[in-house]
Every structure is written in structure tokens, then in C-alpha cells.
Amino acid sequence: MMLFAQQTEAKDVTITVKNNADVQRQELVEVDAASVYKTLGIGKGEPFIVRNALGQEVAAQVTYDGKILVDAAVRPMGTAVFTITKGTPKPMKTFVCGKQYPERVDDVAWENDRTAYRVYGPALQRSGERAFGVDVWVKNTPDLEVDKRYVTELSNHHKIQELKKAGKDREALEMTQATTYHYDHGYGLDCYKVGPTLGGGAPALMDDNGLILPYCYKTYEILDNGPLRFTVKLVYNPAKIGKDANVVENRLLSLDKGSNFNRMEVWFDGLTQPRKLAAGVVIHSEDTESVVLGKDMVLYADPTDNPAKQNFQIYVGALFPYGNVATQRVADAVPVDGAAGHAVGVTEYKPGERFVYYFGSAWSKNDVRTFNEWKLRASETIDALRTPLKVTVE
């Protein structure tokens, strides 16, 4: 008698997302991709379709670490249901992406439908320019803007220089004003000052003299690039920290669709002794009062690089939802490039650990109009991180 192995019949996958909080939730949820592939009877990387309860296709993404992302809206104390089936999905809109810009001294820049960021690379460090932390680019459109800003800015530099050489200073100024990403052309701009600071959310080890500011990244690897999540790994140059001669900082950061906050995971190779580790935002001299030091967050209403003429604010901050952090101000003895100090959360970092926190921003001309709204956004984000949506897969 011949025996045949029993095969599991492929079937659709049902995702149920439960919101146990009394507030509306809108965020990405994760499910294990391997189990979904198995249930659907498809191989890794084969296409599938995600539909909501109305039967509409919704955007999804498979991440580098084997998760399927779905953008879920769930009413207070409510439930949302999604179905995954075999098939080829329609083209999706990209809400989150990033890339390196070697034409702009190796910037790595990324954005979602709320805001944009960049960190500085090897070419900038070789130039000697002192720009260390995370830069913030504000925007008031859900569309992707960063690449267009770089192209418009950089492609006109030589034309502007030619006009100046020809003595056409007025024309050069007009072209500069029309093409620079330091002016708002209706979609946002770069008006945040970084310099030799943490900027809008970078980490730094500490010693008795204060922050040991990192410089630019050495290498980068983009692990996820939309449509719903961007993830990049950054590795920094070896540094001497106390008696340790070759301490290497590693950062794994990601940004999701719809979020004002990036997730940052940081760890250090080559460190043999515990160290204080800080993360937070620079406080600028033009406004040293609009600072919140909470038990689990630091927030700041940044006045921009030209407060008198810009007349708006950039809201920045760092969140520490997982405890063991003391928030404080770290003052600079002498203000450097307009920086009066930092608002940071400080933790005791032990070798081999990975420290996770969140950093982010908003703009008073976009979806967060006041500093009070920013405080509420930060508080609700921490609540959501501590009480994630409950996801079941059948």
C-alpha cells in the first residue's frame, strides 16, 4: 500500500487588529511574513494582496527582517479586519523613501508624508565642515519632496555662479530665491540649524566634559525603502572613548508612514566600560525657554534659523518609552554657532546593550500648529508605543 504525504490546503489569511485604548489609532502593524507565505501556499517574495473590510486593496510592505506591514486605522476600543490573498497587487503609492546624495557631500536623506531628515556623510567630514547631528526638513505635503529639492537646488548652482561672474547680482539673487531649498516655495524648506550639535535627535556618549559628539557616518546600508517604511543602518568611524581606542557607533533607524517620530536603535562595538549615553535635541540661543523636560521625553519649539523673518516654529523632540532615562539640560559653556545647549535623556549604557528611543519633528505650518499640540502628539505616541495594537493572524 502506497502512502502519500498529507498536504496542507492553502487558504486566505485574516488579520484582526484590536485597539484596546479609548483613542483613535492610525499606525503600521506587523505580522510574520513566513507564516503568511505558508498559509497562502506561496514562496518567499511571491506577490499577495491585502484588502480591508470593504474589499479595497491597501498598501503593504515586506521588510528586511521578515515582517509584513499594513497601515491600520482602528476606532477607540474597536477592531479592524484585513484579508491577505494570493495575487498581484495594484501599484502602490510610495509614502516613505530615502537615498544617499553623493552630489551633496554624501547626505543620506529620507522622508515620509509628514517630514524629512538627513544625516551627513564622509564627503562632508573630509571637507572639514562641522555638521554632526540630525537635520530636519519641514514639509506640508504628503507627497515626496526631498529628491526634487536636491535636484532644483544643485542643478542651479552653476547658473547662479555664472550670473555673479557676469556682474548680474540681481538676477543671481532672484534665481537663488527661486530655487534654494532654504526658502519655502509652498511645500516646505530647510530652515533648521544643526552645526556641531545633536541636531534633531542624534545620540552621543558622555564624559565629565559633557557630550562626546559623533561626526559623520562612515558607511550606510538602506534596508527598507518604502512604500510604508524606510530603514537604514549607519556605521560611524572608530573613536577613542576613555581607555577604549576603537569604539564604533552603530545606528539602526526607521521611519514609518504617518509618523512624526523615527525609531532609533543605537549600540557601540569596542566599548568595555559602562558609559552615560544621551539622546536629544539642540537648544538654540534665540529661544532657551520653550523646552519641556518630561519623565520620558524632551521637547522643544525650535525658532528656526531666522526667527524674525520666518515667524514659525519647528517642533522637535526625543521620546524614551522604555524607562531608565533621566531628562536634563546640558548647557554649553560658550554658545557655539547659536547653540545654547541640549535637552537630552541620559541613560547608563552597558557594553553589548542596544538602546532604543524615538526622535522626530513637526512644523507649525503643517499638521501640528502649536507647541501644546506637539506635547499632546508626543504623549499619545508614547502611550501607543507602550500599548501596541493587538494583532492576531488566522
**Is 118 within 8 Å of 108 (Cβ atoms)?**
yes
Above 60 in pLDDT, residue 55?
yes
Query: SS3 for 19?
Result: coil
End-to-end C-alpha distance for the chain, whole angstroms: 36
pTM: 0.94
Q: What angle do CA 180, 185, 188 make, to 5 degrees?
A: 90
CATH architecture type of domain 13-89: Sandwich (2.60)
128-145 pLDDT, tens digit each: 999 999 999 999 999 999
As separate numbers, helices (DSSP H) first and strands (DSSP E) second, the chain gives 7, 26
pLDDT value, residue 326: 97
Above 70 in pLDDT, residue 266?
yes
The sheet carrying 60-62 orders its strands as 25-32, 67-74, 60-62
Task: Write out the DSSP string of 152-190.
Answer: HHHHTHHHHHHHHHTT-HHHHHHHHHHH-TTS-SSSEE-
More confident residue, 45 or 375: 375
Above 80 in pLDDT, residue 333?
no
75-97 pLDDT, tens digit each: 999 999 999 999 999 999 999 99
For the chain, give the mean pLDDT: 94
* Average of per-residue pLDDT across 287-296: 97
Q: The CATH number of 97-139+189-386 is which of 2.30.30, 3.40.50, 2.70.98, 3.40.720?
A: 2.70.98
pLDDT value, residue 3: 40
14-51 pLDDT, tens digit each: 999 999 999 999 999 999 999 999 999 999 999 999 99
* Average of per-residue pLDDT across 327-344: 86
Q: Pick from 355, 166, 156, 329: which is nearest to 268 by CA?
A: 355
The residues that bridge with 346 in the sheet, in sequence order, are: 278, 326
Beta strands in 33-75 (DSSP E): 48-51, 60-62, 67-74
With cut-offs at 50, 70 and 90, classify the pLDDT of residue 5: very low
Alpha-carbon distances, residue 195 vs 18, 129, 266, 339 (angstroms): 44, 8, 21, 8
pLDDT value, residue 369: 97
* C-alpha count within 13 angstroms, C-beta hemisphere, residue 70: 28
CA pair distance 142, 112, nearest whole angstrom? 7
Joined grid coordinates for residue 197: 550639535
The residues that bridge with 84 in the sheet, in sequence order, are: 13, 50
Sign for the CA dihedral angle at 362, 368, 373, 379 comes to negative
- Grid cell 559623520 is found at 216
Above 90 in pLDDT, residue 368?
yes
- Grid cell 521578515 is found at 66
Give the helix ranges, DSSP H, for the chain: 33-40, 122-127, 146-155, 157-165, 169-179, 307-310, 371-386
pLDDT value, residue 4: 36
With cut-offs at 50, 70 and 90, classify the pLDDT of residue 259: very high
pLDDT value, residue 179: 93
